[in-house]
Structure 1
Amino acid sequence: MSELGDFLRAKRAAASVEALPFPSSGRRRVPGLRRDEVALLAGVSVDYYTRLEQGRETNPSAQVLDALAHSLDLTVHERRYAYELAQLVWVPELPQTPELADTTLTRLMERWPGAACFVLDPLLDIVATNRLATQMFRPFATTRNLVEMVFLDPAGRTFYVDWERAATGCVANLRATSGLYAGTARRKELLDRLTSGSTYFAELWTAHEVVPKTHDQKTLRHPDVGEFVIDFDALEVSAMPGHQLVVYGAEPGSAAERAFQLLSVMPTTSTHDDLVIG
């Protein structure tokens, strides 16, 4: 026996017979699907699938696991777990267009009025901002993608006081988060825009620095409230694999706290494509 085999057997027992895309007959002694039905759905032999369940085969390919996950209707988290049991790297599918942030997550962001919060997908597209983050990013023409904001929008050069440090960190973070999607069209389109629009981005990209963001400080300069230092944390979003929740916080009594207080009471008059949620 193996943990992967035990997991597959449990999921097979829980699978719905009514969802089968072909007729099934015969008396069932136990609930769920039969091994031959799962094997047929996944496009593998019954003998191979049986060996997986019995632990006599422990190294399935990613293609086989994907097929079994589809056959057993596994959730995103169950699919990741199956990959971990098989000691494989799981790559969640990158949608053709950025997906909206999970509603539970957006409600959480709304509860932090004193912090600027936004959600990044693996290509650093901004898929949600709370009201304070929207106000903070007002100098930018668009908040579609964080890397484009840094390199292609003139506001980036003044918004980030140490622009070269911010630019270097942004590219290293993009390498870390997008590397698993190297063959996707969305990634290629983004890189084409960035490399054609910024020679400095092209130079940093060829350096192949890979440093995911976790915690750091940045000095920002906003045209409405001046210069201030923020602490930021980038947190993995379990409900949206591959996404990051970025929180810009301010120390009590700091210039950043005063800046955030001023921004929070300003009217939201920005005309660019913000993804404000509150």
Structure 2
Amino acid sequence: MLAGVSCDYYTRLEQGRELSPSDQVLDALARALQLNPEAAHHLHALAHSTCDRRRPESTDRVHPDVLRLLDSWSDKPALVVNQLLDVLAQNSLIGAFHDGLAHADNIMRLTFLEPRIRELWVNWEEQARSRVAHLRSETGKDPGSALVELVEELSRESEDFRRIWAKCEVWTDTGYPIYVHHSGVGDLTIRYQSFTVESAPSQRLVVFQTEPGSPSEQALSRLRAIHARPDRAAHGSTPKKHDEVRTIRNFR
């Protein structure tokens, strides 16, 4: 009634029997359901998912120029991810945060299948919701088999994922800080921004920062110094030099 459509038409939409709703109908539904702009955009993407949108072919190969850029940020954690939040490349400060954690090659698996991440991320619930909101937004763009398999895997393995996925949230999370408790250097507040890689639109460059002059910046500097110590290699820690970029996948 609020959207101005019949119950029968709305039922056909939900059941997938009405495949060509107009933008006006979708806008009316978004208003009636009180969707935020990102969720409304997601609604339109779902409704038009059968259209040929000529999206650029996705790739997991990170351009050498992007790798050099990561390498230049020795004081900032940074990484490159794809739509499924597979970590395609990272600099060693990211490795320092995730040292010893399982599933660090995929942010979704790290969030829900590695119990120790809850000790590292103090605001785990908020961060978990934002990761799920990102993944759900991808279902409106390209619901390929890899995405479906990831959702099915996480649904099988994590009750928390099932709970949060059922909320059907779609929103951008880059305005929210990560509150970190690192056993080696203490507490940090970290903010981040992500950027589309123009040469590979399926990839996102994510850069993490601390407030200049803050205790968090000092803690990050301590972490960098600890991770760069020569004796780290003797104890199985990976980087050969502190600002070396580490690529995660074997690129074709």
Is TM (by shorter chain) over 0.5? yes
Question: What is the CA–CA distance in structure 2 between the aligned matches of 1:208 and 1:89, rounded to whole Å?
Answer: 24
Question: What is the CA–CA distance in structure 2 between the aligned matches of 1:101 and 1:213, rounded to whole Å?
Answer: 23
State the match for 1:108 in structure 2.
69
What is the one-letter code of the residue matched to 1:227?
D
State the match for 2:178 in structure 1.
218
Residues 92-137 of structure 1: CA deviation (Å, up to 9, x unaligned): 3345xxx232111111111111110011100011111011111122
State whether residues 176 and 210 of structure 1, in contact with CA within 8 Å, keep that contact through their aligned partners in structure 2: yes
State whether residues 174 and 191 of structure 2, in contact with CA within 8 Å, keep that contact through their aligned partners in structure 1: no
Aligned pairs for 1:171-182 (under 5 A) are 171-182=132-143
SS in 2 for 1:276: strand
Question: What is the CA–CA distance in structure 2 between the aligned matches of 1:139 and 1:169, rounded to whole Å?
Answer: 24
> Is 1:123–2:67 an aligned residue pair?
no
State the match for 1:231 in structure 2.
191
1:215 CA drift (Å):
3.4
State the match for 2:163 in structure 1.
203
State the match for 1:69 in structure 2.
none
State the match for 2:94 in structure 1.
133
Q: Pick from 208, 229, 245: which aligns with 1:248?
A: 208
Greater relative contact order (Cα < 8 A, sep 6+): 2
Gaps of 5+ in 2: 1-50, 239-244, 248-252
Q: Structure 1 pair 194/160, CA: closer, same or farther in 2 (3 Å)? A: same
State the percentage of identical aligned residues. Answer: 29
SS in 2 for 1:242: strand
SS in 2 for 1:208: coil
1:243 CA drift (Å):
1.4
SS in 1 for 2:246: coil
Question: What is the CA–CA distance in structure 2 between the aligned matches of 1:234 and 1:213, rounded to whole Å?
Answer: 10
SS in 1 for 2:141: helix
Question: What is the CA–CA distance in structure 1 between the aligned matches of 2:137 and 2:120, rounded to whole Å?
Answer: 24
Question: What is the CA–CA distance in structure 1 between the aligned matches of 2:222 and 2:175, rounded to whole Å?
Answer: 25
Q: Structure 2-normalised TM-score?
A: 0.67
Q: Could you list the runs of 4 or more consecutive aligned residues of structure 1 that deviate by over 6 angstroms after TM superposition? A: none
State the match for 1:73 in structure 2.
none
Q: Pick from 73, 82, 92: which aligns with 2:56?
A: 92
Residues paired across the two proteins, number: 186
Gaps of 5+ in 1: 1-86
Question: What is the CA–CA distance in structure 2 between the aligned matches of 1:114 and 1:243, rounded to whole Å?
Answer: 22
Q: Structure 1-normalised TM-score?
A: 0.61
Question: What is the CA–CA distance in structure 1 between the aligned matches of 2:173 and 2:124, rounded to whole Å?
Answer: 16
1:210 CA drift (Å):
1.2
State the match for 1:276 in structure 2.
246
